[in-house]
Chains A and B, each alone.
Chain A
Amino acid sequence: SQKIEQNSEALNIQEGKTATLTCNYTNYSPAYLQWYRQDPGRGPVFLLLIRENEKEKRKERLKVTFDTTLKQSLFHITASQPADSATYLCALGALHSKLIFGTGTLLAVQP
């Protein structure tokens, strides 16, 4: 069955450093991959989408890579800030089909 794995343990980093979160998947060939941010007690918020034919996508301090050979996506936040502390979810999708979410990685940026 399809499986998505994200770092199960919380990621603690120092303010100003680059945070790197990992999303690995098996038994799936997604057409695209998305990253969402979720704050406690709130719904997720869409951040970035990257398609299977794209290697990298950037948006301000965010960068996403997508390696369909390794079946992995990396999500980077450069110059991290305490306000970036949240849970980050990756989600896989195929055209016109439902998204499948990972369990998320909790990021804590220490001032």
Chain B
Amino acid sequence: GAVVSQHPSWVICKSGTSVKIECRSLDFQATTMFWYRQFPKQSLMLMATSNEGSKATYEQGVEKDKFLINHASLTLSTLTVTSAHPEDSSFYICSASPLMSSGANVLTFGAGSRLTVL
């Protein structure tokens, strides 16, 4: 089955530093990847849609200069949290979809990255 690898699984950083999270589709090509953020006991909140070879599409309220997304190849998307602050501490999860012929998005998720900003 489809596998998505996400790295690192957890990271602790100082306030003001930048952190990069990688998301790779291991056995399929993904022209589109999705980045989510999840707070404890809350739903997955879509942050942005990463498009291979073009700019990411950000959801309303998500700062594109704060959360930089790069999708340089069909198997790799990265999310960089720039100048991180404690309020950026969260669980970040990426996903990709080997799109079904019917157009339904069945998402394969990475294992997630727990970011803690001190």
Residues of chain A at the chain B interface (Cβ within 8 Å) = 4, 31-32, 34, 36, 41-46, 49, 51, 89, 93, 95-99, 101-104
Number of A-B contacts (CB under 8 A): 55
Pick from B34, B44, B103 the residue with the most CB of A within 10 Å: B44
Q: A43's contact among B41, B102, B104, B109, by CB below 8 Å, is which?
A: B109
User: For residue B43, which residues in chain A have a CB less than 8 angstroms away from its CB?
Assistant: 4, 89, 101-104
Q: Which 6 A-B pairs have the closest CB atoms?
A: A43-B109, A95-B103, A103-B43, A101-B44, A96-B103, A43-B93
User: For residue A96, which residues in chain B have a CB less than 8 angstroms away from its CB?
Assistant: 103
For B103, give the chain A residue with the smallest CB separation. A95
Known contacts: A95-B104, A96-B103, A98-B34. The answer to whether A42 contacts B112 by CB under 8 A is yes
Measured CB to CB, the closest approach of chain A to B31, in angstroms, equals 13
For B99, give the chain A residue with the smallest CB separation. A96
In the docked arrangement, what's the CA distance between A89 and B36, Å?
14
B106–A46 CB distance below 8 A? yes
Known contacts: A96-B103, A98-B49. The answer to whether A43 contacts B95 by CB under 8 A is yes
B6 within 8 A of A: yes
Residues of chain B at the chain A interface (Cβ within 8 Å) = 4, 6, 34, 41-44, 46, 49, 91, 93, 95, 102-112, 114
For A98, give the chain B residue with the smallest CB separation. B46
User: For residue A42, which residues in chain B have a CB less than 8 angstroms away from its CB?
Assistant: 111-112
B112–A32 CB distance below 8 A? no
B106–A49 CB distance below 8 A? yes
In the docked arrangement, what's the CA distance between A49 and B105, Å?
10
User: For residue B44, which residues in chain A have a CB less than 8 angstroms away from its CB?
Assistant: 44, 89, 101
For B59, give the chain A residue with the smallest CB separation. A98
Provide 18 A-B residue pairs closer than 8 Å at the C-beta atoms, listed in order of the A residue: A36-B107, A41-B114, A43-B4, A43-B95, A43-B110, A43-B111, A43-B112, A44-B93, A44-B107, A45-B109, A51-B102, A89-B44, A93-B104, A95-B102, A96-B103, A99-B46, A102-B43, A104-B43
